[in-house]
Structure 1
Amino acid sequence: MNKLNKIKYAGLTCVLISLASCSIPSVVTREENKTTPAVFANETNDTLNTAKTQWKSYFTDSNLSTLIDTALKNNQELNINMQELIIAQSEVRARKGEYLPFVNLGASAGVDKVGRFTNIGASEANTEIKDGIETPDPLQDYKIGAFATWEADIWGKLHNAKKAAVGRYLASVEGRNFVQTNLIAEIANSYYELLALDNQLDIVKQNIDIQTNALVIVKLQKESARVTELAVRRFEAQVLKTRGMQFSIQQQITETENKINFMVGRFPQAIAREHKSFEKLVPTKVNAGIPSQLLENRPDIKQAEMELLAANLDIKVAKARFYPSVSISAGIGFQAFNAKYLLSTPESLLYSFAGDLVAPLINRNAIKASYISANAKQIQAVYNYERTLVNAYVEVANQLSKIKNMQQSFELKSQEVEALNQSVGISNDLFKSARADYMEVLLTQRDALESKFELIETKKSQMNAFVDIYRALGGGWN
């Protein structure tokens, strides 16, 4: 092939490569919208934010703090997420290594026996290498050298792949922070649920004593013919019902304790706590700050943002696959048919240097599919980011409202309990003096018991709102 023909073929190759890299399918991308409301509903634009408070300062109960501290060390889910970080970090290292040269050292040894009546065997027969030395038969082969390959990252494909891996690593970090935030909140909520159950159990035991005393009085009145057997049976049934509630609550206490132990990462054991002052717990004042601070404080929002960044880079990586890739390979070493000649130079010296320019030409469906998928995933990431942001705002708004409403509800429920406690004493006195029948006593006792349970439930809801607003604002991970 003459020089002119070589130039023609080279020019034709460049044209084909150029045509192959021009046709890139058009897809729709969607940019994220980070706009948030200026303030939360019925709140000021004060930037003081409770999310900046460390959890040890936010939860002042020493027993609860011990549980959380133990969970942060032993919780299995948190430790699994830590391994996810190591995996993501290794992925970054792998992507970084791809756009650096690969250099390998190698050595080989072998033997090759070619048939005498073959074209190679016939050509090598009686061939002198030098100084009367004929070609050995069988022919040995020894080789040692260094070989390198490198893909020139002209279009930024490898560099963007590395940056995408970094984004996913940072998303994994925020994912772990989000797991930690949820873990702290879940332990705190379960702890307050346990205190509420302890108080409900105390209330049930107190009512059992009250109802048992009332049953004794009814039996005495039945002996004096002031009431019938029906009244005695109704009071007995009420006592038995309340005793049944006692065992139901005890089972709930056991399950709640074990739930906390599981989150703490240990086998079932008693949970240290002090429940006597549960009704008197008053949540500290919460400063919600402004909605835009959620972008900084909420780990799930930052995780979605990092995943969106990685998805945008994936599009660039997929797009670069349509363009020609340039790779360079080189090698240097020694090769000989006898080990004693291996380091003889220049006879045994070998070296190579080559450059490749390759671009997809026909049947690029796989590359197109990868590119379209990358775009679809980018749009998914945008929607996920927007959903996470809106969900964060809604959670904060709900918990701010719940804190105010539960406070007012608790105050009214406390007054209701006080009124019914007084009515229990009044109904008992009236019953003793035959000015009220036994049904009025039973109904009053039932209403009083239910109101006390509701008061404890309201206090638990109030404390849950205190915990959940801290989680919703993004506290607990820093």
Structure 2
Amino acid sequence: MASCIFYAGCKTPALVQSPQVKAVAPTYENNSDTSNTADIKWQEFFKDKYLVSLIDTALKNNQELSITLQEIEIARNEIRSRQGLLLPKVEAGGGIGIEKAARYTSQGAGDASTDITPGKEVPEWLPDYRLGAYATWELDVWKKLRNSKKAALDRYLATVEGRNFVITNLIAEIANAYYELLALDNQLDIVKQTIKLQQSALEIVKVQKQAARATELGVKKFEAEVLGSQSLEFDIQQKITAKENEINYLLGRYPQPVARDTTGFLSLTPSQVAAGIPSQLLKNRPDIKQAELELAAAKLDVNVARAEFYPSFNISAGVGFQAFTPGYLVKFPESLLASLVGDVAGPLINKNAIKAEYYNANARQIQAVYNYERTILNAYIEVATELSNLKNQQQFYTVKSQQVDALVKSIDISNDLFKSARADYFEVLMTQRDALESKLELIETRLHQFNSVTNIYRALGGGWK
């Protein structure tokens, strides 16, 4: 029987080989500089004191981050659980019972002829008092329990990296929302300035109408332009409120004004970034390290599932006292009982359930390989895309600034020509409209620059250290 068990246990099904992880690209656009912005702490990377204060508050109060911390605690407790399986299980206890043996049985017939004391038989209803300790221990011959504990440890470390990834994304999300809020503030100021300019032009065309130099059509056109800008003002104000509430949500607090410096957004300069080389992503990106640890745990799960085919070795022991009256319970050695048993057991036939779990573990391992590879690829593409975006946004901002300067000058020229009747109201309206749109686009471009820098910092794995 032992030979059959060992033979059946050692015969395990063949597995599909896991794919090899592809190597990461050597550089970004032939850049071999190893300086990496991800090594900078977020308190040093972001210079705005209001933004630093918001991020600090979010790291203390954000609910999603708090949920992630509890996941870490759950994973830590799983390690304790796996550790406990490696140690003997010891229980102590006692019990009281009563038993009646049937007379026409071997036990009943024997009891009828046994005297407890001279002249007395064993009672028909016999009490039973027990007090003792019991221990069971599975010998980890095939490292099933140890591999299970290592897998739990890897998953615990993966949850820690998951927390770091949440921190990185949270910091970037708050920074992007904060810069969007600053951009909306500046767009609101530009719209208000444009409304004043349009109202001034409206007064001029009304005077010209009284002097028969303009028509009612011109007046209505200017009025419509003012009303359109005023509606845009209310729309931006609503966007500001929504963005403030979004930031408050990330900070885990109820709606309230967000402290910030609303002046000079266009004069702010985004931080310089250094992407380093792609291989640095493997140690800086928390999601990559998380996927790597999950892959290591999945490999250990395969070993654990394979060990289920092998025989298990168990030792059980017990020691205590047992008697039919409390007075005899502590009588030594007559009431002493002890046992020591060693057994071996393993699957022999109908191993479909074990095979299924074995194949599932292998499939999950292959999934983990692909997930690890996908995470690396996604990280590389994120960095490469944002680097290209930042480069193009810088060039776009330079050209857009020149356009805004030209349109601002054209407003003064069109107003002078309109006052001297050398330009009609349509040219003035179009000039003002084009200038407003280009100013708003210029702010959007500056916002995209800040967002791109923040996204690069996040993509490189910065923020969690």
Code of the aligned partner of 1:223: Q
**1:337 and 2:324 are equivalent in the alignment:** yes
CA positional deviation for 1:122: 4.2
> What's the offset of the Cα at 1:227?
1.4
Q: Note the alpha carbon deviations across 1:222-255, whole angstroms, 9 max, x for none.
A: 1111111111111111111110001110110001
Could you tell me how far 1:185 is from its partner in structure 2? 0.3
Instruction: Give 1:208's match in structure 2, choosing from 158, 178, 195.
Output: 195
Which deviates more, 280-289 or 335-344?
Answer: 280-289
Structure 2 CA distance, aligned partners of 1:246 and 1:116? 100
Map 1:6-405; keep pairs closer than 5 Å: 13-33=1-21, 35-43=23-31, 45-114=32-101, 120-129=107-116, 131-405=118-392
Tell me, in whole angstroms, the C-alpha distance in 1 between the residues paired with 2:292 and 2:213.
Answer: 76
Q: Which runs of 5+ in 1 are unaligned?
A: 1-12
1:32 touches 1:385 (CA, 8 Å); kept in 2?
A: no
* 1:34 Cα deviation after fit: 5.4
- Normalising by structure 2, report the TM-score: 0.98
Structure 2 letter corresponding to 1:312: K
Residue 345 of structure 1, CA deviation: 1.5
Which residue in the other structure is 1:448 paired with?
Answer: 435
Letter of the 1:52 counterpart: D
CA distance in 2, matches of 1:130, 1:315: 63
How far 1:129 moved relative to its partner?
Answer: 3.6
Which whole-Å CA distance do the structure 2 matches of 1:100 and 1:57 have between them? 48
Amino acid at match of 1:446: R
Aligned-pair CA distance for 1:123: 3.6
Q: Distance in 1 between matches of 2:131 and 2:110?
A: 27
One-letter code aligned to 1:347: E
Letter matched to residue 303 of structure 2: K
Query: Is 1:462 the counterpart of 2:449 in the alignment?
Result: yes
What is the Cα deviation at residue 133 of structure 1? 4.7
What is the deviation of 1:311?
Answer: 0.3
Deviations 1:252-299 (A, max 9, x none): 000100000000000000000002111011122211111111000000
Is the 1:174–1:303 contact (alpha carbons within 8 Å) kept by the matching residues of 2?
yes
What is the rounded CA distance, in whole Å, between the counterparts of 2:427 and 2:144 in structure 1?
82
Specify which of 413, 421, 438 is matched with residue 426 of structure 1: 413
Deviates more, 1:149-158 or 1:106-115: 106-115
Check conservation: 1:29, 1:378, Cα contact below 8 A.
Answer: no
> What is the distance in 1 between the residues matched to 2:258 and 2:464?
24
Equivalent pairs, count:
465
Q: Distance in 1 between matches of 2:170 and 2:104?
A: 79
TM-score (norm 1): 0.95
Distance 1:461 1:234 in 2: 34
SS of equivalent to 1:429: helix
User: What is the one-letter code of the residue matched to 1:463?
Assistant: F
Q: Once superposed, what is the RMSD of the aligned Cα atoms?
A: 1.3
Structure 1 runs (4+) deviating above 3 angstroms are: 113-123, 129-133
Deviation at residue 221 of structure 1 after TM alignment: 1.0
Cα shift at 1:51: 0.6
Q: Any gaps of 5 or more consecutive residues in structure 2?
A: none
- Over 3 Å counting, the alpha-carbon distance change for 1:14 and 1:117 in structure 2 is closer
Secondary structure, aligned partner of 2:266:
helix
Query: What is the one-letter code of the residue matched to 1:59?
Result: F
Identity %: 60
